[in-house]
Structure 1
Amino acid sequence: MARLSGVVALAALVALPVGAAEVEGVRLWRAPDHTRLVLDLDGPAEHKLFTLESPHRVVIDVSGAKLAASIDGLPIADTPIAGIRYATKDKRDLRLVLDLKQPVNPRSFALRRHEKLPDRLVIDLHDRDRVEEKTIEQVGTERDIIIAIDAGHGGEDPGALGPGGLREKDVVLAIARQLHKAIDANHGFSAKLVRSGDYYIPLRDRVKKGRALRADLFVSIHADAFTRKDARGAGVYAVSSRGATSETARFLAQRENESDLIGGAGSLSLGDKDDTLAGVLLDLSMTATMNASLDIGGSVLSSLGSFTHLHKKKVEQANFSVLRSPDVPSILVETGFITNPQEARRLRDPAFQKRMAEKLSDGIVAHFNARPPAGTRLAARGTGAAKAHTIARGDTLSGIAARYNVSVAALKKINGMQTSMIRVGQTLTIPSS
């Protein structure tokens, strides 16, 4: 490799113990606003990053390291990277050169070994000329109800693992995409995907995106694991300022809050004492948001209960980092336990994923139909207008009544029903609550 010169933009040195580290794996992820390159190391190592111009390049020197993995076949087609080269510098250091199609803003950081994950060196190449997402101004005073859908994990963080290599990040993204379609099919609703592909977003940034969208609801989709393989059932969680309502909720919250250590969130470390990792008490100003989250969660749980087994028959609470928004009602939905072999088979099934999404949508839409936020198209329709519900497989009269916050007696009266028997495809009139 020719001698490199002309340092122009950035120099960074991470103080870690020096050793003859070996690069055992190289992976590349593309996100909407940046590209992430990850080097798996068999031990910690110092590294230095700088940029060069004419042509644009990013250079990474890893002290005392050797490349034992292949860099061929990395998916660079839709990234700013034109090619990747490597050589040995000063007979001891590994030098990687990223030839660029256009200039980027690079950033690098090291992640220490965590559970089964090795030491890692992460290089993020942030796009310079990214077109920022604009908020669409509504014509007139009425607006859609915005639902922010967050598929958990992604990219470097696969989430929980099930039988046969089933990965949580893939399952929940598939369900999130189906939920996006189901929500958008309802007049007066607009769904937005927080994560639209296989890349990682730090927990705090997920919360920020929900707030930036001015979402009426932030719903985080998961399919988690537990220590017992017989743990099963869907569940709905809201944030808590007083600890978890069950041991399962506490375990799941702790596991999810470690995602940044797995997915890579820059300078975050176990010594960080801010609210993302340490679990501080929520401010009293969140009380109204928390109550709204519990109300929405109840509607979603009721809808899920007509379709699948529930882990708990009430909305649980735990200190999930991704739910800590001060002004956006937020819920976390466990679609099932991926460590349970029977539930893993269902979670892998596209038909189950679609049905799960439809039931989530039913619960969300039912809540906002009954309690539309001021200024929305639904609110403008008038709260006294009657609503209709078409019976789906698994529905029960009591479940429908709970979903729309009306009594079974009122539901039977308005529909002229003598018994509680219903049939798939039948349309019921829902009385105003």
Structure 2
Amino acid sequence: NDSELKVSHFIVKNPDRLVVDIEGLELNSTLKDLVAKIQPNDPYIRQVRVGQNRPNVVRLVFDLKEEVNPQVFTLEPVAGYQHRLVFDLYPVNAPDPIAALISKGDWSRDPMPEVQPSLRSVQVEPRAGDPQQQKPFQNTVTRMLTIALDPGHGGEDPGAIGGGGSREKDVVLAIAKRIKAKLEAQPNMRVMLTRDADFFVPLNVRVQKARKVQADLFVSIHADAFVEPTARGSSVFALSEKGASSTAARWLANKENAADLIGGVNMKSHDRQLASVLFDLSTTAQINDSLKLAKSVLGEIGGINRLHRGSVEQAGFAVLKAPDIPSILIETAFISNPQEEAKLTDEVYQDQMAEAVVKGIKKYFAKNPPLAKGRMT
């Protein structure tokens, strides 16, 4: 809207409904069209009804499929958007993400399939003089590896847009799906996508999703953009404890961190951890492991595309701040560069990029076998 909206809302039980009153509006065709926008497979909304409740007040009634905790809030103008009214519906009884992931992949909760020893086997050699030296003992730690893939942007946030009209959110989702297919073709690997379609996911929720499925790695996929169309090349980033490694890295992190404002996040209730992370020993270890992963992936990407810089860069990306998961952000190419935009929309290049990322991840695990892991809280 071109002016700030005044809104009130309340819940009605038996059956569950969310009622929203918007002041200063008269019923129009745009509001009436909301009725048709609710899809049958919507997880929470059965249907929406709209009407003129009283003069200058439009009422929306959301008939719900289950009990929810709603957040209804307004956003100031940002990017190409005017004043916005946002409805976030959270289930009172949230589903178990690990159970859902296992269900989709038909995995047991304690999988013990065969693995390649070079990737995930640990052999304990007897010490000199040990009475059992004649009978070497082999202890093999085997478990399912979970990789969280994070296609950047989505929904109301298109990300960067190339000169030819290509949208970052579409390109990175396509690449992420290719990476997922290739990883899940490996033994003992499963993948969780933070989004698998065109919808917006707040930065802190992306991190929460990875932690809830006990991810071993977090890989965020993006397509870079710059004010000059001549900028080109791929990059890999890790979190920084002491500030950005370059001015460009700081600029990019600030741009990516603004995604929540564009996508419509209620900043008043935003996770404070993402605003200011307490860097303790676990975070330092995460950064060290992230740098190892980033170096491995960067080396593989360098074989299919020119690198923007020849080394891993670091900055304060909000989406990389899980304190217990090695996390990297990959800028696959500059979508603002006409030649690289063409690459990003080319299926052959997308597949090459996906293959390079998978090779980098496999090489990382070969040198850094994961330990047995308990459930994170």
Same fold (TM over 0.5): yes
Residue 61 in 1 paired to residue 21 in 2? yes
Aligned partner of 1:138 in structure 2 is: 110
Specify the alignment match of 2:90 in structure 1.
Answer: 126
Asked whether 1:172 is paired with 2:172, we answer yes
Residue correspondence of structure 1 range 370-385 to structure 2 within 5 A: 370-375=367-372
Which of 59, 71, 76 matches 1:112? 76
CA-CA distance at 1:303 after TM superposition? 0.3
Name 1:262's counterpart in structure 2.
262
In 1, Cα distance between the equivalents of 2:371 and 2:91?
38
Larger radius of gyration: 1
Offset of 1:288 from its aligned partner?
1.8
What is the rounded CA distance, in whole Å, between the counterparts of 1:56 and 1:286 in structure 2?
42
Task: Give the percent of matched residue pairs that are identical in Structure 1 and Structure 2.
Answer: 43
Q: Quick check: 1:95 aligned with 2:59?
A: yes
When structure 1 is superposed on structure 2, of 331-340 and 183-192 the one drifting more is: 183-192
> What's the CA shift string for 1:35-85, capped at 9, x where partnerless?
xxxxxx222111011122454432211111235523354142212433333
Seen in structure 2, the aligned counterparts of structure 1 residues 285 and 125 have a Cα distance that, compared at 3 Å, is closer
Alignment of 1:292-331 (within 5 A): 292-331=289-328
Please report how far the alpha carbon of residue 257 of structure 1 lies from its aligned counterpart in structure 2 after TM superposition.
0.9
RMSD over aligned Cα atoms: 2.3
**Aligned match for 2:48, one of 84, 87, 112:** 84
Q: Tell me the distance in 2 between the aligned counterparts of 1:258 and 1:150.
A: 16
Q: Is the 8 A contact 1:234 1:304 kept in 2?
A: yes
Q: Secondary structure at the match of 1:317?
A: strand
In structure 1, what is the Cα distance between the partners aligned to 2:95 and 2:214?
A: 19
Residue 90 to residue 228, structure 1, CA distance change in 2 (3 Å): same
| Residues 206-245 of structure 1: pairs in structure 2 closer than 5 A | 206-245=206-245
Contact between 1:241 and 1:281, CA under 8 Å: does it hold in 2?
no
* 71 and 189 in structure 1: CA distance in 2 versus 1, 3 angstrom threshold: closer
**AA at the equivalent of 1:305:** G
CA distance in 2, matches of 1:232, 1:281: 34
Q: What is aligned with 1:26?
A: none
Alignment-derived partner of residue 280 in structure 2: 283
Which residue of structure 2 aligns with residue 156 of structure 1?
156
Contact 1:52/1:58 (CA < 8 Å) preserved in 2?
Answer: yes
User: Paired residue for 2:339?
Assistant: 342
Between the aligned partners of 2:305 and 2:246, the Cα distance in structure 1 is: 21
Shift, 1:262, TM fit: 1.3
Q: Which runs of 4+ in 1 moved over 6 A?
A: none
Q: Distance in 2 between matches of 1:81 and 1:189?
A: 34
Aligned to 1:355: 352
- CA offsets 1:322-364 (integer angstroms, 9 cap, x no match): 1112111110000111111111111112222122111110111
Instruction: Please give the alpha-carbon distance, in whole angstroms, between the structure 2 residues aligned to 1:76 and 1:173.
Output: 22
CA shift, 1:232, in A, is: 1.0
Distance 1:371 1:139 in 2: 20
Distance 1:254 1:138, change over 3 A: same
Q: Distance in 2 between matches of 1:275 and 1:207?
A: 11
Quote the Cα distance in structure 1 between the aligned partners of 2:264 and 2:297. 31
CA contact (8 A) 1:300 1:363 kept: yes
Q: Point out where structure 1 has 5 or more consecutive residues left out of the alignment.
A: 1-40, 377-433
Counterpart of 1:173, as a letter, is L
Q: TM-score, normalised by structure 2?
A: 0.81
Deviations 1:75-103 (A, max 9, x none): 42212433333222321112122233444
Partner of 2:247: 247
TM-score scaled to structure 1, two decimals?
A: 0.71
Query: Could you tell me how far 1:130 is from its partner in structure 2?
Result: 5.3
8 Å CA contact 1:81, 1:99 repeated in 2? yes
- Residue of structure 1 equivalent to 2:137: none
Give the conservation status (yes or no) of the 8 Å contact 2:159–2:167: yes
Q: Is the 8 A contact 1:56 1:101 kept in 2?
A: yes
- 8 Å contact kept, 2:151–2:169: yes
* Aligned residues of 2:27 and 2:52 also touching (Cα < 8 A): no
How far the C-alpha of 1:365 sits from its partner, in A, is 0.7
Structure 2, unpaired ranges of 5+: 100-107, 113-140
Q: CA separation of 1:85/1:137 partners in 2, compared to 1, >3 Å: closer, same or farther?
A: closer
